[in-house]
Structure 1
């Protein structure tokens, strides 16, 4: 190592050029690196679906789901398999290990699908395999609204979609709420009877008269002439003039018997923004694209297109992720600057301006080197990376402080600046390497954190490892070389010289001021090392006991104040889309009075998505800025109370969730192979949850009861009339979506439009179905001659997880209630409840993630300790001294608990756990340097007590400096203060600080206690070891009582 340092000092120009290159390339990398709010977490999900006309959910489960589950369940790396069986439909969702190769997973699924298709019924549809990329969520939703014709709004949306998808950073744009056009041919059933027309004649006539026939060519002496018979329908008039039947010599056309018009499909949903009809365009960016630049390009392009639109068209931007990213980046950048300034103030005060500049050089150097590495590795700049930079601000300067502080001492002793900084780098090289290695060792196991949470948090250890490694090079090479050029001896007063002399060569007991007071305390401690250790142990036990009695419990992930909310409107009746929309409008009208809500995007729907049959509408709420309104939880409580009086409707409020876990935090899965026991088990659980106060928005996925009409065909009787099931099915379509007879392409449409024949709306009813007539050889015959209509109980969707039927019960928790406490209470209640035989349960979602994270963090902590032991044994070659260093970790936990008790916060499994692990790597650094200095004094011949006192005197300033700089860098996060130097304002409680309060509090609290113990307890334990060694030596040297006297 000395040779490398000498090489660096002999090539100062190369070192300066390298440093300038790091800073220049790093600045460019920081500008160019893609920026996003949360890290992209690729979760390989594959969705496999099939169907079979007319199959019931129960039969779909047996004939479609079970064969697929048997094949897919054996796939490698499969984490979870969820299945659904519904009327005519079956699907399986396969969830593979987070961070796995999506392409490999898709290949394995395709191979399994090829094998299983032979086991499905012959009439089943081919399997459809779809990859679901959960990392590709919309970065912004563009809502187009206004009182203009629907066709015009659709045209504008189509244009916007095409233009946006042409932008380089856009992956896709999905239009929501758009209805497809078609040509509707409305025929009254009485007209069909009057003209004795069968719908089969109509279908046949249209299909036969909507063709382009190539009739060949005529070869003659005059040449070759190509013939064709054009007969394609080109416009509405072609349909109106098309003949259907000749009656008494008169040609009957569509215009005679039908109303023909271009219209839109029957609505399955209604969408509005602040009460106006709307279409939504969900914009998804490409992976790796800069979210801020991408959204800016989207808004700019829409602004250009909007100049050609009618004035009534309004554009609203919802869930703009770029605004969240800009705000969070700005807040965290301000915190980085604040941390740097606070650290520099302390260093300037302690070491002087010139030395502070040298130490401060480590921060931008390590920062920008780390960002360059992240950019080269194709990572993004997100909240995890930014906080990691804040976390290491104080840690980056530890090595630099130790080097510069020792060089400063040598300068005061008369050494030249080159000699002083070269000596500081060489003398402290191995302690700095060892302390940095121990810090890195605690973050290294976090790289192997699996699952969604691990993929989400992996940016923290990567960023810390890269920047701390860079700081090591800064401390040992760049800063000493720069100091050797610009370093200067600071003028000292006579008192300062006396203090330095006492610390280096004189009697430390003669020192005055704070250092002298510390030396006197330290002397008492090393005179009674046993009592000092016992006192520390007693304080540790008292702290654990106090937290066990008064602690606030645990949480999984920090609660971040959201910018969006969602209100779900749920009902169980068989409601039409218009009835559903009327209810949603009533909810929408009440929410418009809320000052905290900036905009409301409401959507009523017949189907809110897979597995959700009760939701009849969803309202997306954009909230005003967090500092201008109550909290989202308080708003949610107000909404539940204000809307609770709407009869027959259940209002559910869900706030947007940051972090890796999504959805409701309480998620209980009830499993059984006996379907009849599901309902009883769910009722038992719901009753228990009602007895436990604190649960809100409770839902379950039991198949909903309902009524359906089964049309039973007497096949033998139908055969007498020449009818069959296929003919009956077509006839029934006249009362539903219509019979598609052909398609055509009008001039003003981009694609082909269907031509559908059906009855007018007033004739599409259950009564008309009973009177429906079908064409047979004997003419039009009522279907009632061979059909019976039987009402029956409708079976809802059947859900399965890992080959067992499952009912999921989900819930939120009320304000001030911890999820972990609610889950523990429910688990305890379930353990004492009598569930039906064969019913098992397990907690999924956040509870599952929390348990997995806690297990991993314990394993990572153990692995980190083992790595530190190895490094410490290499450094000291002493088990006892390694144990002294590690004792700081144990005692620092007391500081973590003290911080939680003082602030009244619960312990965070993820953030608090990472904080404890990070703390373990931080608190050992000072101990390593302190013990190394002690060993150096002992090698130079000082007795143990004098060596311990001199070590304390010499290391007090760097120990306090490194601890204070680390704590100060995190202090804004601990107290939730944003020091924004750009806007010259101080903000308290911003969402960006809420992410990191738990982690920062753990580190600052633990470091504060550990620093005091390092300065007092560690020297006392060194003396305890020396006393024990001397006692053992005396025992060995004293003659045994059994030995004869030498005389």
Structure 2
């Protein structure tokens, strides 16, 4: 007994299975993570190392080289790219395509742990991360503004950051424009000298008197009593009242030689919304999370917390990627529904309503069974999955149409519906299987498409393979089973019955209607086969020639009208954060006057990974609806023209990338054994590119020019005064960035 006959005998079980598939498929589609673009597995690991105050040269020698030596021993390493700068360095390790990112990450952690023994003592813990495209662009940007004290706004942003990070769908939260709170100690050098105190003594006293002491417990005959020694600073008064030296009968306190005040670090970034100062909270999505559901949860959290804030604090979402994802998915879903309806209408016109309903059940059944399959392998619903569903609509009904049409003919000949559908399914099983397999064979190699494009596009063939395989089950099991219960032969004219008989056993020349005209045309064509082959070949070649001669060319991904655009501001030199902000404001002044902008979010500093080293700030322009504005290309061209007269900065106005992100279309890499020769060569290449027509936004990775102060210590002279390199270095750090000598947590922190 065949599988088809078994399924039709156990029809109730088959129908129940179909119902379970439909319900489970709907539930899965609703709950599965949804995102605009698929989250690709990129075999790249990023290592970031921080050492406060270290120069770029020392960072290369003491941080980068030890890591490079260890990482080179890892199997599968394709390329190592390093970048050193003031205060730290980073190393990017690219592995061969197909490398398991989890294994690559574990091997890199082991290599960096081995290299840490060669790092300077004060180097912070290296940060090792797998590169994910979701890290480069926040899914949500929340702006906070209001006429409240700076401390209040910072505290609200810090508290909100901690609560948002507890959401499982959130990977990281960055607060732009906030400053880290600290207790600043300003020591009077004359008072230190008069009391005979040294810098090292003060550092040691603060460290030894700000310590948690676990004193244990006291056991007596009357019980056990814990002993506590309060030794942790809880307020500024605790620091000021700390005794540091006894001079005769007098005790010298910390307040006698220093001033203490709570303040904030110097700003490292600024954020503005529509030109007004604000705090920006950038929320980055965790890979594989449902972006729509995560954004809704974050917005609900913000609404709940806002009830406890001062009334004059306002919130605004200057970037909400979930809206874009929801709109795009809705449009694609509507396209899928429209395609299904059109196919359904065509089937009704050819087979009739009852047969069309049987064929029509194969469309949602195949879709939902395919979604169940891809969801089981951790694939989210994204643009490539929905594109695949649109492509599959016209392919998945072929088998069901063949089975249903043959069963209708058998019932027209007087055979009962159970035997008709059983016979039709068994008779057409192998042709349908062969047809489906040939279609799958065309898409199967795309699963192994190498490179970034392959990682992006592979979800299309995976979805097609899942859906078309599901359509095979629908055509051979579920549709025949339903037909054996609900099938009914339609009314057939005598001419139709005569044509069916002639098509199977009679003279084909006697066929009437469209079939007869097709047979007569085919016979005439077969009498002159070589002429027809020549005509088809000429037509094929002519199409290619016409397209490449008069067409619009070839592009990697279609140019889609964006909902936002970015303006990157770049400048080279030793610029403070305030100088950078002044330059960003100059560009911002031109953008603020645009009527096409719904909101303008500006950020100075903190350019983030993926940006050029000389990027000093960026402006994100959220456009109004595309029907109410000019095309984005015209707007960005106008911005470039308006800011072209600004001296000392370079402005790059660009649209967001669509498809797999692979950087700029043209990338030229120069290498040399002579580093000094590289800078001049890069300058020549860049100047040549800048003069070419059609080339915009040229950038390079040359080191930033600047002035560096170098202090040479006379070691012999320093030894005469009991000093050494460490003491001199600490004193220099004290008068520049300051030295962190301890931590404490006040009650209001």
Same fold, TM-score > 0.5, yes or no: yes
Aligned in 2, Cα 1:589/1:339: closer, same or farther, shift over 3 Å?
same
SS at match of 1:319: strand
Q: Which residue of 2 aligns with 1:447?
A: 447
CA distance in 1, matches of 2:426, 2:102: 51
**1:922-933 residue pairs with structure 2 within 5 A?**
none
SS at match of 1:540: helix
Q: 2:690 touches 2:698 (CA, 8 Å); kept in 1?
A: no
Q: Which residue of 1 aligns with 2:488?
A: 488
- The one-character-per-residue Cα deviations of 1:791-825 (angstroms, maximum 9, x if unpaired) are xxxxxxxxxxxxxxxxxxxxxxxxxxxxxxxxxxx
- The one-character-per-residue Cα deviations of 1:957-979 (angstroms, maximum 9, x if unpaired) are xxxxxxxxxxxxxxxxxxxxxxx
- The one-character-per-residue Cα deviations of 1:504-526 (angstroms, maximum 9, x if unpaired) are 45544344444443333212101
Aligned in 2, Cα 1:524/1:215: closer, same or farther, shift over 3 Å?
closer
Q: Which residue of 1 aligns with 2:11?
A: 12
Q: Which residue of 1 aligns with 2:329?
A: 329
Q: Which residue of 1 aligns with 2:381?
A: 381
Q: Which residue of 2 aligns with 1:557?
A: 557
Is 1:728 the equivalent of 2:724?
A: no
CA distance in 2, matches of 1:518, 1:622: 57
Aligned in 2, Cα 1:111/1:737: closer, same or farther, shift over 3 Å?
closer
TM-superposed CA distance for 1:34, in Å, is 2.2
TM-superposed CA distance for 1:617, in Å, is 1.2
SS at match of 1:532: helix
TM-superposed CA distance for 1:709, in Å, is 1.1
**1:289-368 residue pairs with structure 2 within 5 A?**
289-368=289-368
- The one-character-per-residue Cα deviations of 1:81-117 (angstroms, maximum 9, x if unpaired) are 1112345744422123456433322332344446556
Q: Which residue of 1 aligns with 2:130?
A: 132
**1:195-214 residue pairs with structure 2 within 5 A?**
199=199, 202-203=202-203, 206-207=206-207, 210=210
SS at match of 1:179: coil
CA distance in 2, matches of 1:394, 1:32: 27
Further displaced range: 330-339 or 414-423: 414-423
The structure having more radius of gyration, on CA atoms, is 1
Q: Which residue of 1 aligns with 2:76?
A: 77
CA distance in 2, matches of 1:429, 1:435: 10
Q: 2:35 touches 2:290 (CA, 8 Å); kept in 1?
A: yes
Aligned in 2, Cα 1:708/1:286: closer, same or farther, shift over 3 Å?
closer
**1:644-655 residue pairs with structure 2 within 5 A?**
644-655=644-655
**Which structure has the highest strand share of the two?**
1
Q: Which residue of 2 aligns with 1:678?
A: 678
CA distance in 2, matches of 1:223, 1:121: 51
TM-superposed CA distance for 1:184, in Å, is 1.7
Is 1:94 the equivalent of 2:90?
A: no
TM-superposed CA distance for 1:335, in Å, is 0.9
- The one-character-per-residue Cα deviations of 1:250-308 (angstroms, maximum 9, x if unpaired) are 87765566543210011121122233333333334455433222221111121111111
Q: 2:62 touches 2:120 (CA, 8 Å); kept in 1?
A: no
Is 1:583 the equivalent of 2:583?
A: yes
SS at match of 1:665: coil
**1:839-858 residue pairs with structure 2 within 5 A?**
none
Aligned in 2, Cα 1:740/1:368: closer, same or farther, shift over 3 Å?
closer
- The one-character-per-residue Cα deviations of 1:1012-1033 (angstroms, maximum 9, x if unpaired) are xxxxxxxxxxxxxxxxxxxxxx
CA distance in 1, matches of 2:399, 2:216: 89
TM-superposed CA distance for 1:646, in Å, is 1.9
CA distance in 1, matches of 2:491, 2:586: 78
Aligned in 2, Cα 1:628/1:662: closer, same or farther, shift over 3 Å?
farther
Q: Which residue of 2 aligns with 1:407?
A: 407
CA distance in 1, matches of 2:244, 2:275: 45
Aligned in 2, Cα 1:65/1:354: closer, same or farther, shift over 3 Å?
same
Aligned in 2, Cα 1:111/1:224: closer, same or farther, shift over 3 Å?
closer
SS at match of 1:492: coil
**1:91-130 residue pairs with structure 2 within 5 A?**
91-97=90-96, 100-113=99-112, 120=118, 125=123, 128=126, 130=128
TM-superposed CA distance for 1:495, in Å, is 4.6
TM-superposed CA distance for 1:125, in Å, is 5.0
SS at match of 2:671: strand
Q: Which residue of 1 aligns with 2:2?
A: 3
Structure 2 gap ranges (5+): none
Aligned in 2, Cα 1:149/1:529: closer, same or farther, shift over 3 Å?
same
TM-superposed CA distance for 1:436, in Å, is 0.5
CA distance in 2, matches of 1:384, 1:87: 42
Q: 1:597 touches 1:624 (CA, 8 Å); kept in 2?
A: yes
CA distance in 2, matches of 1:711, 1:321: 49
CA distance in 1, matches of 2:675, 2:597: 43
TM-superposed CA distance for 1:743, in Å, is 3.6
Aligned in 2, Cα 1:651/1:287: closer, same or farther, shift over 3 Å?
closer
Aligned in 2, Cα 1:378/1:271: closer, same or farther, shift over 3 Å?
same
Q: 1:147 touches 1:276 (CA, 8 Å); kept in 2?
A: no
TM-superposed CA distance for 1:29, in Å, is 2.2
Is 1:41 the equivalent of 2:40?
A: yes
CA RMSD across the alignment = 3.5
Q: Number of aligned pairs?
A: 747
TM-superposed CA distance for 1:206, in Å, is 4.5
Q: Which residue of 2 aligns with 1:618?
A: 618
Aligned in 2, Cα 1:226/1:139: closer, same or farther, shift over 3 Å?
closer
Q: Which residue of 1 aligns with 2:740?
A: 740
Structure 1 gap ranges (5+): 750-1047
CA distance in 2, matches of 1:507, 1:313: 86
CA distance in 2, matches of 1:219, 1:11: 78
Aligned in 2, Cα 1:647/1:171: closer, same or farther, shift over 3 Å?
closer
- The one-character-per-residue Cα deviations of 1:437-470 (angstroms, maximum 9, x if unpaired) are 1001111112222333222222212211111111
Q: Which residue of 1 aligns with 2:435?
A: 435
TM-superposed CA distance for 1:667, in Å, is 1.8
**1:248-267 residue pairs with structure 2 within 5 A?**
255=255, 258-267=258-267
SS at match of 2:709: strand
SS at match of 1:475: helix
- The one-character-per-residue Cα deviations of 1:659-700 (angstroms, maximum 9, x if unpaired) are 222433322211112112212322331232133201111111
Q: 2:574 touches 2:705 (CA, 8 Å); kept in 1?
A: no
Q: 2:452 touches 2:662 (CA, 8 Å); kept in 1?
A: no
Further displaced range: 656-665 or 214-223: 214-223
Q: Which residue of 2 aligns with 1:569?
A: 569
CA distance in 2, matches of 1:353, 1:291: 40
CA distance in 2, matches of 1:677, 1:92: 23
- The one-character-per-residue Cα deviations of 1:358-397 (angstroms, maximum 9, x if unpaired) are 1111101111111121222232211111111111001011
TM-superposed CA distance for 1:66, in Å, is 4.4
CA distance in 1, matches of 2:287, 2:243: 56
SS at match of 1:666: coil
TM-superposed CA distance for 1:328, in Å, is 1.8
Q: Which residue of 2 aligns with 1:665?
A: 665
Q: Which residue of 2 aligns with 1:945?
A: none
Q: 2:46 touches 2:131 (CA, 8 Å); kept in 1?
A: no
Greater relative contact order, per chain length (Cα 8 Å cut-off, separation 6+): 1
SS at match of 2:669: strand
Q: 1:172 touches 1:283 (CA, 8 Å); kept in 2?
A: yes
**1:939-1018 residue pairs with structure 2 within 5 A?**
none
CA distance in 1, matches of 2:321, 2:607: 27
Q: 1:49 touches 1:90 (CA, 8 Å); kept in 2?
A: yes
- The one-character-per-residue Cα deviations of 1:729-774 (angstroms, maximum 9, x if unpaired) are 232234322233444332212xxxxxxxxxxxxxxxxxxxxxxxxx
Q: 1:608 touches 1:617 (CA, 8 Å); kept in 2?
A: no
Q: Which residue of 2 aligns with 1:689?
A: 689
- The one-character-per-residue Cα deviations of 1:944-966 (angstroms, maximum 9, x if unpaired) are xxxxxxxxxxxxxxxxxxxxxxx
TM-score w.r.t. the length of structure 2 is 0.90
TM-superposed CA distance for 1:234, in Å, is 3.2
TM-score w.r.t. the length of structure 1 is 0.66
SS at match of 1:142: strand
Aligned in 2, Cα 1:176/1:614: closer, same or farther, shift over 3 Å?
same
Q: Which residue of 2 aligns with 1:21?
A: 20
Aligned in 2, Cα 1:287/1:85: closer, same or farther, shift over 3 Å?
closer
Q: 1:42 touches 1:135 (CA, 8 Å); kept in 2?
A: no
CA distance in 1, matches of 2:247, 2:541: 103
SS at match of 2:707: strand
Q: 2:607 touches 2:618 (CA, 8 Å); kept in 1?
A: no
Aligned in 2, Cα 1:438/1:266: closer, same or farther, shift over 3 Å?
same
